Structure 1
Amino acid sequence: MQQNHPDAPLLPHRLSVLGEAMRAVAQHVWTALDDKLVPTIPVPDMLATVARILAMLDAQIQLVSVRTNDLMPEVIANQTASDLAVYRAVGRFEASVRELLAGYHQVLSLAAFGDGVIARNLLANAYRHTLNEIHDWLCEVVFTIADPLAAIQRRGLPSSGHVELPLTLTLTPAPELDELAKWVAQHSARRTPRPSPRTPAASVTTRPAQPKSPGFWDTLTTAILLCGISNALFGSDADDCDV
Protein backbone atom coordinates (compact mmCIF):
# COMPACT_ATOMS: atom_id res chain seq x y z
CA MET A 1 0.00 0.00 0.00
CA GLN A 2 1.38 3.39 -0.98
CA GLN A 3 1.57 5.88 1.89
CA ASN A 4 0.48 9.45 1.25
CA HIS A 5 1.82 12.55 2.94
CA PRO A 6 -0.78 13.91 5.38
CA ASP A 7 -1.03 17.12 3.36
CA ALA A 8 -1.27 15.37 -0.01
CA PRO A 9 -4.55 15.97 -1.87
CA LEU A 10 -7.06 13.13 -1.66
CA LEU A 11 -8.27 13.61 -5.22
CA PRO A 12 -6.26 13.88 -8.43
CA HIS A 13 -5.53 17.34 -9.79
CA ARG A 14 -8.03 17.12 -12.65
CA LEU A 15 -10.88 16.69 -10.16
CA SER A 16 -9.78 19.73 -8.19
CA VAL A 17 -9.84 21.70 -11.44
CA LEU A 18 -13.29 20.25 -12.17
CA GLY A 19 -14.55 21.38 -8.77
CA GLU A 20 -13.37 24.94 -9.26
CA ALA A 21 -14.82 25.12 -12.77
CA MET A 22 -18.16 23.75 -11.59
CA ARG A 23 -18.20 26.26 -8.72
CA ALA A 24 -18.22 29.06 -11.28
CA VAL A 25 -21.12 27.41 -13.14
CA ALA A 26 -23.11 27.06 -9.90
CA GLN A 27 -22.56 30.74 -9.08
CA HIS A 28 -23.72 31.78 -12.54
CA VAL A 29 -26.91 29.69 -12.29
CA TRP A 30 -27.72 31.11 -8.85
CA THR A 31 -27.23 34.68 -10.05
CA ALA A 32 -29.20 34.17 -13.27
CA LEU A 33 -32.18 32.73 -11.38
CA ASP A 34 -32.62 36.12 -9.69
CA ASP A 35 -32.64 38.10 -12.94
CA LYS A 36 -35.68 40.35 -13.31
CA LEU A 37 -36.86 40.82 -16.89
CA VAL A 38 -39.52 43.11 -18.33
CA PRO A 39 -42.08 41.18 -20.46
CA THR A 40 -41.61 42.43 -24.02
CA ILE A 41 -42.26 39.43 -26.29
CA PRO A 42 -45.83 39.53 -27.70
CA VAL A 43 -47.83 36.31 -27.32
CA PRO A 44 -50.60 36.12 -29.94
CA ASP A 45 -51.34 32.45 -29.17
CA MET A 46 -50.50 31.28 -25.65
CA LEU A 47 -51.66 27.72 -26.30
CA ALA A 48 -49.18 27.32 -29.15
CA THR A 49 -46.51 29.07 -27.11
CA VAL A 50 -46.89 26.60 -24.24
CA ALA A 51 -46.43 23.67 -26.64
CA ARG A 52 -43.36 25.29 -28.22
CA ILE A 53 -41.73 26.15 -24.89
CA LEU A 54 -42.29 22.66 -23.47
CA ALA A 55 -40.69 21.11 -26.57
CA MET A 56 -37.77 23.51 -26.15
CA LEU A 57 -37.43 22.61 -22.46
CA ASP A 58 -37.44 18.94 -23.39
CA ALA A 59 -34.57 19.38 -25.87
CA GLN A 60 -32.58 21.58 -23.48
CA ILE A 61 -32.74 19.07 -20.62
CA GLN A 62 -31.74 16.27 -22.94
CA LEU A 63 -28.64 18.25 -23.89
CA VAL A 64 -27.79 18.88 -20.22
CA SER A 65 -28.10 15.13 -19.61
CA VAL A 66 -25.73 14.36 -22.50
CA ARG A 67 -23.15 16.93 -21.39
CA THR A 68 -23.30 15.72 -17.79
CA ASN A 69 -22.69 12.13 -18.87
CA ASP A 70 -19.79 13.32 -21.02
CA LEU A 71 -17.95 14.49 -17.89
CA MET A 72 -17.37 10.88 -16.85
CA PRO A 73 -15.19 9.72 -19.81
CA GLU A 74 -13.76 13.16 -20.57
CA VAL A 75 -12.71 14.15 -17.06
CA ILE A 76 -13.56 11.91 -14.12
CA ALA A 77 -12.36 8.61 -15.60
CA ASN A 78 -9.70 10.18 -17.83
CA GLN A 79 -6.43 10.06 -15.90
CA THR A 80 -4.63 11.96 -18.67
CA ALA A 81 -7.08 14.88 -18.80
CA SER A 82 -5.24 18.19 -18.83
CA ASP A 83 -6.52 21.38 -17.22
CA LEU A 84 -7.49 22.61 -20.68
CA ALA A 85 -9.45 19.41 -21.38
CA VAL A 86 -11.29 19.80 -18.06
CA TYR A 87 -12.23 23.41 -18.76
CA ARG A 88 -13.39 22.51 -22.26
CA ALA A 89 -15.61 19.70 -20.95
CA VAL A 90 -17.07 21.97 -18.28
CA GLY A 91 -17.51 24.67 -20.91
CA ARG A 92 -19.66 22.33 -23.01
CA PHE A 93 -21.69 21.43 -19.93
CA GLU A 94 -22.07 25.09 -19.00
CA ALA A 95 -23.23 25.94 -22.53
CA SER A 96 -26.09 23.45 -22.16
CA VAL A 97 -27.07 24.98 -18.82
CA ARG A 98 -26.93 28.46 -20.36
CA GLU A 99 -29.43 27.29 -22.98
CA LEU A 100 -31.78 26.34 -20.14
CA LEU A 101 -31.27 29.74 -18.56
CA ALA A 102 -31.94 31.43 -21.90
CA GLY A 103 -35.20 29.49 -22.17
CA TYR A 104 -36.14 30.57 -18.65
CA HIS A 105 -35.42 34.20 -19.48
CA GLN A 106 -37.44 33.89 -22.68
CA VAL A 107 -40.43 32.72 -20.65
CA LEU A 108 -40.04 35.62 -18.22
CA SER A 109 -40.05 37.97 -21.22
CA LEU A 110 -43.42 36.76 -22.55
CA ALA A 111 -45.90 39.63 -22.53
CA ALA A 112 -48.87 37.42 -21.72
CA PHE A 113 -52.28 38.82 -20.90
CA GLY A 114 -55.43 37.54 -19.23
CA ASP A 115 -55.16 34.00 -17.93
CA GLY A 116 -52.20 33.53 -20.26
CA VAL A 117 -50.23 35.01 -17.38
CA ILE A 118 -51.04 31.86 -15.41
CA ALA A 119 -49.53 29.66 -18.11
CA ARG A 120 -46.45 31.88 -18.38
CA ASN A 121 -45.85 31.72 -14.63
CA LEU A 122 -46.30 27.94 -14.62
CA LEU A 123 -43.75 27.64 -17.44
CA ALA A 124 -41.32 29.88 -15.57
CA ASN A 125 -41.67 27.84 -12.39
CA ALA A 126 -41.17 24.61 -14.34
CA TYR A 127 -37.88 26.01 -15.60
CA ARG A 128 -36.92 27.15 -12.09
CA HIS A 129 -37.64 23.68 -10.74
CA THR A 130 -35.17 22.10 -13.16
CA LEU A 131 -32.56 24.83 -12.75
CA ASN A 132 -32.74 24.55 -8.96
CA GLU A 133 -32.14 20.79 -9.17
CA ILE A 134 -29.12 21.40 -11.40
CA HIS A 135 -27.82 24.10 -9.04
CA ASP A 136 -28.20 21.83 -6.00
CA TRP A 137 -26.31 19.08 -7.83
CA LEU A 138 -23.53 21.48 -8.79
CA CYS A 139 -23.19 22.50 -5.15
CA GLU A 140 -22.97 18.83 -4.16
CA VAL A 141 -20.23 18.23 -6.75
CA VAL A 142 -18.25 21.25 -5.52
CA PHE A 143 -18.65 20.27 -1.85
CA THR A 144 -17.66 16.65 -2.45
CA ILE A 145 -14.56 17.50 -4.45
CA ALA A 146 -13.51 20.23 -2.01
CA ASP A 147 -13.87 17.98 1.05
CA PRO A 148 -14.36 14.30 0.16
CA LEU A 149 -13.84 13.19 3.76
CA ALA A 150 -16.69 15.37 4.97
CA ALA A 151 -18.85 14.03 2.13
CA ILE A 152 -18.02 10.45 3.18
CA GLN A 153 -18.84 11.15 6.81
CA ARG A 154 -22.06 12.97 5.95
CA ARG A 155 -23.27 10.02 3.88
CA GLY A 156 -22.22 7.47 6.50
CA LEU A 157 -19.97 5.63 4.05
CA PRO A 158 -17.11 3.31 5.10
CA SER A 159 -13.91 5.11 6.01
CA SER A 160 -11.55 2.47 4.64
CA GLY A 161 -10.83 0.83 1.30
CA HIS A 162 -12.22 2.17 -1.95
CA VAL A 163 -15.22 4.36 -1.34
CA GLU A 164 -17.64 5.28 -4.11
CA LEU A 165 -18.93 8.83 -3.95
CA PRO A 166 -21.84 8.90 -6.40
CA LEU A 167 -22.72 12.33 -7.71
CA THR A 168 -26.11 11.76 -9.24
CA LEU A 169 -28.04 14.41 -11.12
CA THR A 170 -31.70 13.46 -10.88
CA LEU A 171 -34.15 15.60 -12.86
CA THR A 172 -37.70 15.18 -11.62
CA PRO A 173 -40.98 16.33 -13.22
CA ALA A 174 -41.88 19.85 -12.21
CA PRO A 175 -45.16 19.95 -10.23
CA GLU A 176 -46.25 22.80 -12.51
CA LEU A 177 -46.58 20.36 -15.44
CA ASP A 178 -49.81 18.98 -13.98
CA GLU A 179 -51.26 22.47 -13.69
CA LEU A 180 -50.12 23.25 -17.24
CA ALA A 181 -51.88 20.12 -18.48
CA LYS A 182 -55.11 21.34 -16.90
CA TRP A 183 -54.66 24.81 -18.38
CA VAL A 184 -54.04 23.40 -21.86
CA ALA A 185 -57.00 21.02 -21.66
CA GLN A 186 -59.30 23.85 -20.61
CA HIS A 187 -58.18 26.17 -23.39
CA SER A 188 -58.11 23.44 -26.01
CA ALA A 189 -61.73 22.61 -25.19
CA ARG A 190 -62.70 26.22 -25.86
CA ARG A 191 -61.33 25.89 -29.39
CA THR A 192 -63.09 22.63 -30.18
CA PRO A 193 -65.42 23.26 -33.15
CA ARG A 194 -69.03 22.40 -32.59
CA PRO A 195 -70.53 20.02 -35.17
CA SER A 196 -72.84 21.71 -37.64
CA PRO A 197 -76.39 20.33 -38.06
CA ARG A 198 -75.29 18.75 -41.36
CA THR A 199 -72.20 17.09 -39.91
CA PRO A 200 -72.48 13.85 -37.94
CA ALA A 201 -71.13 14.42 -34.47
CA ALA A 202 -69.05 11.26 -34.77
CA SER A 203 -67.01 12.83 -37.56
CA VAL A 204 -65.75 15.65 -35.34
CA THR A 205 -62.56 14.77 -33.47
CA THR A 206 -60.81 16.79 -30.84
CA ARG A 207 -57.06 16.47 -30.28
CA PRO A 208 -56.13 18.86 -27.51
CA ALA A 209 -52.42 19.40 -27.08
CA GLN A 210 -51.27 18.01 -23.77
CA PRO A 211 -48.03 19.07 -22.17
CA LYS A 212 -46.14 15.93 -21.39
CA SER A 213 -43.28 15.33 -19.07
CA PRO A 214 -40.08 15.04 -21.08
CA GLY A 215 -39.30 11.37 -21.44
CA PHE A 216 -35.98 11.60 -19.61
CA TRP A 217 -37.24 13.28 -16.43
CA ASP A 218 -36.68 10.09 -14.49
CA THR A 219 -33.29 9.35 -16.06
CA LEU A 220 -30.35 9.43 -13.72
CA THR A 221 -27.22 11.16 -14.92
CA THR A 222 -24.42 9.86 -12.77
CA ALA A 223 -20.75 10.58 -12.22
CA ILE A 224 -18.96 8.39 -9.67
CA LEU A 225 -15.72 9.28 -7.93
CA LEU A 226 -13.92 6.17 -6.77
CA CYS A 227 -11.76 7.32 -3.90
CA GLY A 228 -9.39 4.92 -2.17
CA ILE A 229 -9.56 6.10 1.41
CA SER A 230 -7.90 4.11 4.17
CA ASN A 231 -8.27 4.13 7.91
CA ALA A 232 -5.18 6.35 8.00
CA LEU A 233 -7.29 9.35 7.07
CA PHE A 234 -8.95 8.83 10.41
CA GLY A 235 -5.72 7.87 12.17
CA SER A 236 -3.60 5.47 10.09
CA ASP A 237 -2.14 5.06 6.56
CA ALA A 238 -3.89 6.13 3.37
CA ASP A 239 -4.26 4.61 -0.03
CA ASP A 240 -4.13 6.67 -3.20
CA CYS A 241 -7.45 8.23 -4.11
CA ASP A 242 -8.28 8.11 -7.78
CA VAL A 243 -11.05 7.23 -10.19
Structure 2
Amino acid sequence: MTEENYKYRTSDLFLRNQFNGVGKFDIPEIPKSNFSDDTLENLLLIGFDKINTDQSNYERMVHFFLYDYKFENIWKKPDEYVEKLKKYKAVLSPDFSMYIEMNKALQLYNTFRNRWCGAYLASKDIKVIPTVNWGDENTFEFCFDGIPKGSIVAVSTYMVREHNNHADQKDFFMKGYEEMLRRIEPSKIICYSEPFPEMQGDIIYVDYELSGWKYLNKESLDLPLHN
Protein backbone atom coordinates (compact mmCIF):
# COMPACT_ATOMS: atom_id res chain seq x y z
CA MET A 1 0.00 0.00 0.00
CA THR A 2 1.43 3.36 -1.00
CA GLU A 3 1.56 6.27 1.45
CA GLU A 4 -1.11 8.06 -0.55
CA ASN A 5 -3.40 5.03 -0.41
CA TYR A 6 -2.73 4.59 3.31
CA LYS A 7 -3.66 8.22 4.06
CA TYR A 8 -6.89 7.82 2.11
CA ARG A 9 -7.70 4.47 3.73
CA THR A 10 -7.23 5.84 7.25
CA SER A 11 -8.61 9.36 6.84
CA ASP A 12 -11.44 10.53 9.10
CA LEU A 13 -13.45 11.75 6.12
CA PHE A 14 -13.28 8.28 4.57
CA LEU A 15 -14.03 6.27 7.71
CA ARG A 16 -16.45 8.77 9.32
CA ASN A 17 -15.79 7.11 12.65
CA GLN A 18 -14.56 10.03 14.78
CA PHE A 19 -17.78 10.42 16.78
CA ASN A 20 -19.23 8.04 19.33
CA GLY A 21 -22.35 6.42 17.96
CA VAL A 22 -25.63 5.71 19.72
CA GLY A 23 -28.33 3.13 19.15
CA LYS A 24 -28.27 -0.09 17.21
CA PHE A 25 -26.57 1.50 14.21
CA ASP A 26 -24.03 3.75 15.98
CA ILE A 27 -25.55 6.98 14.68
CA PRO A 28 -23.35 9.99 15.64
CA GLU A 29 -24.87 12.25 18.29
CA ILE A 30 -25.34 15.98 17.74
CA PRO A 31 -24.62 17.83 21.01
CA LYS A 32 -27.23 20.20 22.37
CA SER A 33 -26.91 23.89 21.60
CA ASN A 34 -28.48 26.47 23.87
CA PHE A 35 -30.27 29.60 22.70
CA SER A 36 -31.98 32.40 24.55
CA ASP A 37 -35.66 33.10 23.87
CA ASP A 38 -34.64 36.44 22.35
CA THR A 39 -32.37 34.68 19.89
CA LEU A 40 -35.25 32.52 18.65
CA GLU A 41 -37.75 35.36 18.40
CA ASN A 42 -38.76 36.35 14.84
CA LEU A 43 -36.51 33.60 13.56
CA LEU A 44 -35.75 33.40 9.84
CA LEU A 45 -33.75 30.85 7.88
CA ILE A 46 -31.57 30.95 4.80
CA GLY A 47 -31.00 28.05 2.41
CA PHE A 48 -27.54 26.48 2.25
CA ASP A 49 -27.61 27.10 -1.50
CA LYS A 50 -27.55 30.87 -0.87
CA ILE A 51 -24.66 31.19 1.58
CA ASN A 52 -21.91 31.60 -1.01
CA THR A 53 -23.51 34.79 -2.32
CA ASP A 54 -25.01 36.08 0.94
CA GLN A 55 -23.18 38.90 2.71
CA SER A 56 -25.75 40.30 5.13
CA ASN A 57 -28.08 37.74 6.69
CA TYR A 58 -25.85 36.30 9.38
CA GLU A 59 -28.59 36.68 12.00
CA ARG A 60 -30.42 33.82 10.28
CA MET A 61 -29.99 30.07 10.68
CA VAL A 62 -28.91 27.97 7.70
CA HIS A 63 -31.34 25.26 6.58
CA PHE A 64 -31.14 22.30 4.19
CA PHE A 65 -34.82 21.92 3.33
CA LEU A 66 -33.75 21.69 -0.31
CA TYR A 67 -33.29 19.08 -3.00
CA ASP A 68 -30.38 16.90 -1.92
CA TYR A 69 -28.21 17.71 -4.94
CA LYS A 70 -28.00 21.30 -3.72
CA PHE A 71 -26.10 20.32 -0.58
CA GLU A 72 -24.28 17.05 -1.31
CA ASN A 73 -20.98 18.91 -0.90
CA ILE A 74 -21.57 19.45 2.83
CA TRP A 75 -21.11 15.68 3.08
CA LYS A 76 -18.31 15.36 0.53
CA LYS A 77 -16.27 18.47 1.44
CA PRO A 78 -17.50 19.78 4.82
CA ASP A 79 -14.30 21.70 5.60
CA GLU A 80 -14.91 24.01 2.65
CA TYR A 81 -17.98 25.47 4.38
CA VAL A 82 -16.94 25.72 8.04
CA GLU A 83 -15.73 29.32 8.05
CA LYS A 84 -18.75 30.53 6.09
CA LEU A 85 -21.23 28.69 8.29
CA LYS A 86 -19.60 30.05 11.45
CA LYS A 87 -20.88 33.50 10.51
CA TYR A 88 -24.52 32.49 10.92
CA LYS A 89 -26.55 32.25 14.10
CA ALA A 90 -26.74 28.46 13.79
CA VAL A 91 -27.02 25.63 11.28
CA LEU A 92 -29.75 23.03 11.02
CA SER A 93 -28.31 19.61 10.27
CA PRO A 94 -28.63 18.56 6.60
CA ASP A 95 -32.07 17.22 5.68
CA PHE A 96 -31.02 14.29 3.50
CA SER A 97 -34.14 12.71 2.02
CA MET A 98 -36.08 9.91 3.70
CA TYR A 99 -38.66 9.18 1.00
CA ILE A 100 -40.84 6.20 1.88
CA GLU A 101 -40.14 4.59 -1.51
CA MET A 102 -36.39 4.59 -0.77
CA ASN A 103 -34.55 1.40 0.08
CA LYS A 104 -34.25 1.16 3.86
CA ALA A 105 -30.45 1.04 3.66
CA LEU A 106 -30.48 4.45 1.96
CA GLN A 107 -32.81 5.84 4.62
CA LEU A 108 -30.41 4.65 7.30
CA TYR A 109 -27.46 6.10 5.37
CA ASN A 110 -29.17 9.47 5.10
CA THR A 111 -29.94 9.50 8.82
CA PHE A 112 -26.26 8.81 9.47
CA ARG A 113 -25.21 11.61 7.12
CA ASN A 114 -27.60 14.05 8.78
CA ARG A 115 -26.16 13.37 12.22
CA TRP A 116 -22.54 13.03 11.13
CA CYS A 117 -22.58 16.42 9.41
CA GLY A 118 -24.24 17.96 12.45
CA ALA A 119 -21.70 16.45 14.83
CA TYR A 120 -18.84 17.50 12.58
CA LEU A 121 -19.98 21.12 12.34
CA ALA A 122 -20.54 21.20 16.10
CA SER A 123 -16.97 19.98 16.59
CA LYS A 124 -15.89 23.12 14.67
CA ASP A 125 -17.64 25.40 17.21
CA ILE A 126 -20.76 25.93 15.10
CA LYS A 127 -24.12 25.85 16.87
CA VAL A 128 -26.14 23.04 15.33
CA ILE A 129 -29.83 22.17 15.66
CA PRO A 130 -30.79 18.64 14.56
CA THR A 131 -33.21 18.41 11.67
CA VAL A 132 -35.53 15.44 12.19
CA ASN A 133 -36.93 13.50 9.26
CA TRP A 134 -38.51 10.08 8.93
CA GLY A 135 -39.97 7.64 6.47
CA ASP A 136 -42.65 5.10 7.34
CA GLU A 137 -42.83 3.36 10.70
CA ASN A 138 -40.01 0.98 9.69
CA THR A 139 -37.56 3.89 10.00
CA PHE A 140 -38.50 4.65 13.62
CA GLU A 141 -35.85 2.20 14.87
CA PHE A 142 -33.09 4.60 13.76
CA CYS A 143 -34.39 7.93 12.46
CA PHE A 144 -34.55 9.58 15.92
CA ASP A 145 -31.13 8.33 17.08
CA GLY A 146 -28.27 10.76 17.60
CA ILE A 147 -30.46 13.49 19.12
CA PRO A 148 -30.26 13.87 22.92
CA LYS A 149 -33.52 14.15 24.83
CA GLY A 150 -34.56 17.72 25.45
CA SER A 151 -32.81 19.09 22.34
CA ILE A 152 -34.17 21.88 20.19
CA VAL A 153 -35.06 20.24 16.87
CA ALA A 154 -36.22 21.37 13.43
CA VAL A 155 -38.88 19.96 11.12
CA SER A 156 -40.58 21.16 7.96
CA THR A 157 -44.21 20.81 6.91
CA TYR A 158 -43.75 22.39 3.49
CA MET A 159 -43.28 19.22 1.45
CA VAL A 160 -46.08 17.32 3.21
CA ARG A 161 -48.75 19.99 2.70
CA GLU A 162 -51.05 19.94 -0.31
CA HIS A 163 -49.74 22.48 -2.83
CA ASN A 164 -48.66 22.46 -6.47
CA ASN A 165 -48.07 18.77 -7.22
CA HIS A 166 -47.81 17.69 -3.58
CA ALA A 167 -50.64 15.67 -2.06
CA ASP A 168 -51.59 16.17 1.57
CA GLN A 169 -49.38 13.84 3.65
CA LYS A 170 -50.43 15.09 7.07
CA ASP A 171 -51.30 11.63 8.45
CA PHE A 172 -47.88 10.28 7.46
CA PHE A 173 -46.15 13.34 8.92
CA MET A 174 -48.08 13.28 12.19
CA LYS A 175 -47.22 9.63 12.91
CA GLY A 176 -43.52 10.46 12.81
CA TYR A 177 -43.99 13.77 14.60
CA GLU A 178 -45.78 12.16 17.54
CA GLU A 179 -43.12 9.47 17.75
CA MET A 180 -40.44 12.19 17.75
CA LEU A 181 -42.17 13.92 20.67
CA ARG A 182 -42.23 10.65 22.59
CA ARG A 183 -38.62 9.67 21.96
CA ILE A 184 -36.78 13.00 21.96
CA GLU A 185 -39.03 15.15 24.16
CA PRO A 186 -37.72 18.28 22.41
CA SER A 187 -37.53 21.51 24.39
CA LYS A 188 -38.55 23.51 21.31
CA ILE A 189 -39.46 22.64 17.74
CA ILE A 190 -38.51 24.94 14.87
CA CYS A 191 -41.17 24.41 12.20
CA TYR A 192 -40.30 25.61 8.71
CA SER A 193 -43.66 26.44 7.10
CA GLU A 194 -46.98 26.56 8.89
CA PRO A 195 -47.54 23.91 11.60
CA PHE A 196 -50.53 21.60 11.43
CA PRO A 197 -53.13 22.41 14.11
CA GLU A 198 -52.63 18.95 15.65
CA MET A 199 -48.92 19.49 16.33
CA GLN A 200 -48.10 19.61 20.03
CA GLY A 201 -45.01 21.07 21.74
CA ASP A 202 -43.29 24.42 22.06
CA ILE A 203 -43.29 25.30 18.37
CA ILE A 204 -41.36 28.16 16.78
CA TYR A 205 -43.04 28.89 13.47
CA VAL A 206 -40.68 30.06 10.72
CA ASP A 207 -42.41 31.74 7.80
CA TYR A 208 -41.55 29.93 4.57
CA GLU A 209 -41.99 32.97 2.35
CA LEU A 210 -40.04 35.40 4.54
CA SER A 211 -37.17 32.92 4.68
CA GLY A 212 -37.03 32.73 0.90
CA TRP A 213 -34.68 34.47 -1.50
CA LYS A 214 -37.13 37.31 -2.17
CA TYR A 215 -36.64 38.56 1.39
CA LEU A 216 -32.89 38.22 1.83
CA ASN A 217 -32.71 42.02 1.81
CA LYS A 218 -33.47 43.08 5.43
CA GLU A 219 -35.07 46.30 4.19
CA SER A 220 -37.87 44.26 2.63
CA LEU A 221 -38.86 42.76 6.00
CA ASP A 222 -41.43 44.44 8.18
CA LEU A 223 -40.24 42.92 11.46
CA PRO A 224 -37.34 43.34 13.90
CA LEU A 225 -34.40 40.96 13.67
CA HIS A 226 -32.29 39.93 16.66
CA ASN A 227 -28.54 39.43 16.54
Shorter-chain TM-score above 0.5: no
Answer 1 or 2: higher relative contact order, Cα 8 Å, separation at least 6.
1
Compute the TM-score of the two structures, normalised by the length of structure 1: 0.27
Larger gyration radius, structure 1 or structure 2: 1
- TM-score, length-scaled by structure 2: 0.28
Q: Which has the higher helix share?
A: 1
